[in-house]
A and B are shown apart, each in its own frame.
Chain A
Amino acid sequence: MAITTTVPRDLDAVVGAPMSYWRTVGWRLARDRVTLIAGGVLLLVALSAVLAPWLAPYDPNAGSIRLRLAPVGAPGHVLGTDEQGRDMLTRLLWGGRMTLIAGLTPVLVAFVIGTALGVVAGYIGGVTNTLVMRTMDIFYAFPAVLLAIAISGALGPGLPNTLISLSIVFIPRVVRVAESATVQVKGLEYIGAARASGSGVGDIVRHHLLANVLGPILVFASTQVSLSIILAAGLSFLGLGVTPPAAEWGLMLNTLRQSIYVNAVVPALPGLAIFVTSMAFNLLSDGLRDAMEIRA
């Protein structure tokens, strides 16, 4: 029985080329309103952080004792002033820089190191796997906050140390996801088929393995950004992160908390900023996961 596909003569005119994978992802994202809004919010936050020196109406560290704890809407200070009389809008804009750096950098570092470790452990297996994964389990055994506090406490306060300690918190999580994805993909028959046709380890890892595990790891990492923002804010809150007088949302929350009975709205503003930003990251990663899914 011969198998033939009847092909219309003007085939190329009838069907365009099928959409490439990334175009499909873009097409899906363009139809997902929640993800678009979350992305828009993040873009605004990022832009305002980058452009803070030009957007901010005042010097972030210059206060005026006479204008302490001005309420929202006070003349000249749209979002009021903090306990030292510094303009809140200015400090929120500048604080966004620190918060975004503290949220993104550790996750990025953990994504690179964690993926490498997880893929190596998963692909090689055996003793290597046991060594890597059990070491990660030791870190994983501590609650994230406790581990971050312990490492920051040992290293001392300051932004670089915060970034190091948060990276260490996130590496084991990424390794776990990367390892389990690698082990799962490694067992699939198309890896065997690639080996059977003579592909070397490099080709297999690059074209067959990474192409299929990077997506899930990236989505997982993006969910961790919001946690990193909150942890960084928490470290600053405890005095282990960014040091005063620098503006950082968590630190601002800490210094303003004593004023909450004087003026309840102004101290809530940095908290609101943290909430909105981390929420937007979570929604964005949810949307990315849905859009990047390969539907069978």
Chain B
Amino acid sequence: MRATPLLRARDLRKHFPLRGGVLQRTYAWVRAVDGVSFDVYPGETLGVVGESGCGKSTLARLILRLIEPDAGTLHFGDEDVAAASPGRMKRLRRDMQLVFQDPYASLNPRLTIEDAVGFSLLVHGTPRAQARDRARALLSRVGLEPRLYGRRYPHELSGGQRQRVNIARALVLDPKLLVLDEPVSALDKSVQAQVLNLLTDLKVERSLTYVFISHDLNVIEYVSDRVLVMYLGEVVETGTADELAQSPKHPYTQALFASAPSLDPDHRMERPPISGDPPNPIDPPSGCRFRTRCAFAMPRCAETPPASRAVGATHAVACYLYESGAVVDARVTTSPIV
């Protein structure tokens, strides 16, 4: 494809132990992220979509190394993120930043917003006055007049305004990669649009690369160049946003797109294309993890998990339906997924 990837993840794995009892013994593991591989190329927006609990946020925290992966490798440029020393890591953190989902929990209630934005600069040794000037400049860029808002506390701001502060804080270190973990999910539709447009403008202005995590397909389609579909800690399909929107391959992706509400009354759904909750990630189904909710499940789906295979230049899917090479469009052959 294009140049060398900015971020390269191979077989990332994170299982959380569940402890209990007096001795805090581990009695089970939650397989939050289970063998995820992907590349992020400079200048693109990689969308990550999936139901809640599929490991999207864990993936974001793994990329930033806020939590340590159990297995797999992660490279940022030439640097091995997982093996970086604390000193190197501090340097790396300037290049990768995270915007959190909850605009209320992600700002320290005791810091004024200009201090919150400037704080990261102080940590990296910028003199105080200079840090404040940079913070004010960024606040004004994200649409918050620093003379009006700079010395206010987070509780005096609305959700949308707080999310702008979060974006300013993430940008203050001039990162190359921004990981956005559901940045607009907590906001009203109208405010969502403003924040998304702000993010789009900033991306061009500062030649940023985004990893954009969301459960909202409309948002993902709008912002992403390429999309990663996750189900229970695994990647089931990747492709460009157009490929996924126009010809989704994996039964799960098809169900996701079919369940996105349509504005056209003639296309209202008679029944939901997918029902129930995803299985418990503590004890996922054998073989393909989607088989318990899949209308096309075959006996072999329960045996070994299907490997990801290319169905186009940029399109790959992990499903046995597309194995033989005779590509079937599952949507037209049978009724929708129940």
Contact = CB atoms under 8 A, between A and B. Distances in A.
A15 to B, nearest CB: 7
Interface in A7-31: 7, 11-12, 15, 17-18, 20-21
B119 A21 contact: no
Contacts of A15: 147-148
Nearest to B93: A198
A192 B98 contact: yes
B148 A7 contact: yes
A224 to B, nearest CB: 24
Contacts of B128: none
A7 B104 CA distance: 26
B123 interface: yes
Given A130-B24, A190-B107, A197 B194 contact: no
A197 B97 contact: yes
A211 B110 contact: yes
B152 interface: yes
B143 A197 contact: no
A208 interface: yes
Interface in B91-138: 93-94, 96-98, 100-102, 104-111, 116, 119-120, 123-124
A138 interface: no
B119 A194 contact: yes
Given A189-B102, A190-B108, A192-B66, A7 B145 contact: yes
A237 B49 CA distance: 69
A162 B318 CA distance: 72
A212 B109 contact: yes
A18 B156 contact: yes
Interface string B183-204: 0000000000110011000000
Nearest to A17: B151
Among B24, B110, B111, B120, chain A packs the most CB atoms within 10 A around the CB of B110
Nearest to A7: B145
Chain A: number of interface residues, binned into ranges: 20 to 34
A262 interface: no
Contact of A5 (B102, B120, B148, B194): B148
A241 to B, nearest CB: 39
Contacts of B102: 189
A295 B104 CA distance: 12
A18 B145 contact: no
Contacts of B109: 212, 294
B90 interface: yes
A199 interface: yes
Among B64, B108, B198, chain A packs the most CB atoms within 10 A around the CB of B108
Contact of B97 (A1, A12, A196, A212): A196
Interface string B68-103: 000000000000000000000110011011101110
Contacts of A192: 61, 66, 98, 100, 106
Given A130-B24, A189-B100, A198-B90, A5 B151 contact: no
B100 to A, nearest CB: 4
Contacts of B166: 193
B165 to A, nearest CB: 11
A295 B109 CA distance: 10
A207 B143 contact: no
A207 B66 contact: no
Contacts of B104: 296
27 contacts: A3-B142, A5-B144, A5-B148, A7-B148, A11-B148, A12-B147, A17-B151, A18-B151, A189-B102, A189-B106, A190-B106, A193-B98, A193-B166, A194-B108, A194-B119, A196-B66, A197-B93, A197-B120, A197-B123, A197-B169, A198-B123, A199-B120, A203-B123, A207-B108, A207-B119, A211-B110, A212-B109
Interface of A: 1, 3-5, 7, 11-12, 15, 17-18, 20-21, 130, 188-190, 192-200, 203, 207-208, 211-212, 294-296
Q: List the 7 closest pairs (A to B, CB-CB), nearest first.
A: A197-B120, A3-B143, A189-B106, A198-B93, A211-B110, A189-B100, A198-B90
